[in-house]
Amino acid sequence: MRLALQNLLHDRLRMVVTSLGVAFAVFLMIFQGSLLIGFVNAAGRIIEATDSDLWIAPRGVVCFDFATAMDGRFEDIARGVAGVQSVDRLSVNFVDYRIPDGQQRIVVLVGADPHVGSRFPVPYLNGSQQSVEPEAILLDETSAKALDVHTVPSEVEINGLRAHVAGTVSGFSSFLGSPYAFSSYEDAARYSRTSSDKVAYLTVRVANGYDVESVRKKLAAELPEVNVWTRGEFERRSQLYWVGQTGAGAAILTAAVLAFLIGLVLVSQTVYATTLERVEEFATLKALGASKGFIAMVVMVQALAFGVAGGVAGVLIAMPIVQIAQKAVAWIYMPVWLVAGVLVPAFAMCVLASVVSIRAAVSVEPARVFRA
């Protein structure tokens, strides 16, 4: 398809402008998609970081962050159910965080028993998972600067009680506006002054050889006052709540869907307009005896060339911009599959637009070749 490619190379300005149109559409789709995926991931990140098979949560809980309290004796009941290997406690509370110069912030304090998960942030003593450092909290690295923590350890107060920032972790930035802080379960209970006979969540690990679903059913039967979910189920519930039932999530979802649709329309319109600009050439080809298949191939190759050039440019633009955006919106996340997930429909739209364009190209009146 020498003609198609030579045409593109000959009119470089048009090639650049059209490819930029496609690139902008691809960038828009990737950026908004990254925001949505990052938001969804952040909504389930803490749940996902536990190694548990099951979660026991109070009735009415809609997501991890907005926990209510349930009876602490459920822990002992759960331990007694056949197939339960271990039970760990988790708490979530909004607390007052104060640095030595008196500045205050509200943070979300997450307390957890040791061993709740190898990827779960708990301030272990000397990095060993055997014992937890007392009065210690961990902050996400992106939150540390916002909370004026520049060195560790750093002395702070939580609800008027002494604490120190023992270190930072990554990947646990919050979209709530209040950063996460992680401590041991006991410290979290003390800082938030919650009763020792109350607990927010229990996570359950199922023993080898037992079916997770059957253990879940047994726990649900033993604990009819609470919810017993698999980890994935609770994660999805949390994500669905944030995306579907909050204004922020709905806005991000809507923006992502709109960006996707606008991107696809931009791609198709750009390719279509470019084809129409070459209608005289298609008339000449028809006069020369070109078949419809030949003309269709010219249009298709040009459309795909725009798709490839614009798609690659869009990804190359999106990558650094998403990285820059991470400084302001730490949870934005651009997975590789999103790039594929955007490029495939973008290419498909190029092909679809070329199909519409092909109709215009092959139906051009060949007699127009005699118009000077």
Partner 1 sequence: MPDCQLSVSGVNVTLGSGEAAVRALSDVSLSFPAGAVTLIMGPSGSGKTTLLSVLGCLLKPQDGRVVVSGQEVTGMDEDELTLIRREQIGFVFQAFRLFESLTALENVELAMEVCGEKGPAVRDKAETCLGSVGLAAKKHLKPGEMSGGEKQRVAIARALIREPKILLADEPTASLDSQAGEAITRILHDIAEVQQRTVVIVSHDDRLREFAKNVVGLRDGKVVEQVN
Where are the extended beta strands (E) located within the chain?
A: 54-58, 70-71, 84-98, 104-112, 136-140, 154-158, 161-169, 180-184, 198-199, 201-206, 226-230
Which window, 26-34, 228-236, 322-330, 360-368, contacts partner 1 (CB under 8 A)?
360-368
The number of angstroms, rounded, from the C-alpha of 193 to the middle of its chain's C-alpha atoms is 33
Of the two residues 175 and 306, which places its CB atom closer to partner 1 in the complex? 306
- Classify residue 99 by its DSSP letter: -
Shortest Cβ 309–partner 1 spacing (Å):
16
Specify which residues 245 forms β-bridges with: none
Rounded Cα gap, residues 121 and 275, in angstroms = 56
Give the interface segment with partner 1, choosing from 112-120, 122-130, 228-236, 359-367 (CB under 8 A): 359-367
Judged by beta carbon, residue 337 or residue 370, the one nearer partner 1 is 370
CA atoms within 13 A on the CB side of 315: 17
Q: Tell which positions 278-337 bind partner 1, by CB under 8 A.
A: 280-281, 284-292, 294
Residue 153: cis peptide before it, omega within 30 degrees of 0: yes
Of 339 and 362, the one with the shorter C-beta distance to partner 1 is 362
Q: How far apart are CA 248 and CA 328, in angstroms?
A: 16
Q: CB of 18: closest distance to partner 1 in angstroms? A: 15
Task: Tell me how far, at minimum, the Cβ of 1 lies from partner 1, in Å.
Answer: 9
Q: Could you identify the residue written with the tokens 């798709």?
A: 307
Min CB(23)–partner 1 separation in Å: 23
Place of tokens 């319109």: 269
**Which x/- pattern over 231-270 shows residues binding partner 1 (rule: CB under 8 A)?**
----------------------------------------
Smallest distance from partner 1 to CB 311, Å = 23
Q: How far apart are CA 43 and CA 250, in angstroms?
A: 13
The yes or no reply on residue 96 touching partner 1 (CB under 8 A) is no
Binding range to partner 1, per CB under 8 A, among 28-36, 303-311, 333-341, 363-371: 363-371
Least Å from the CB of residue 254 to partner 1 = 43
Chain positions 9 to 48 lying near partner 1, rule: CB under 8 A, are: 9-11
Q: Checking DSSP bridges between strand 198-199 and strand 154-158, what pairing results, if any?
A: unpaired
Q: Across the chain, how many H-helices and E-strands are there?
A: 11, 11
> Cβ closer to partner 1: 184 or 302?
302
Q: Tokens 């709530």: give the residue.
A: 176
Binding site for partner 1 (CB under 8 A): 2-3, 6-7, 9-11, 280-281, 284-292, 294, 365-367, 369-370, 372
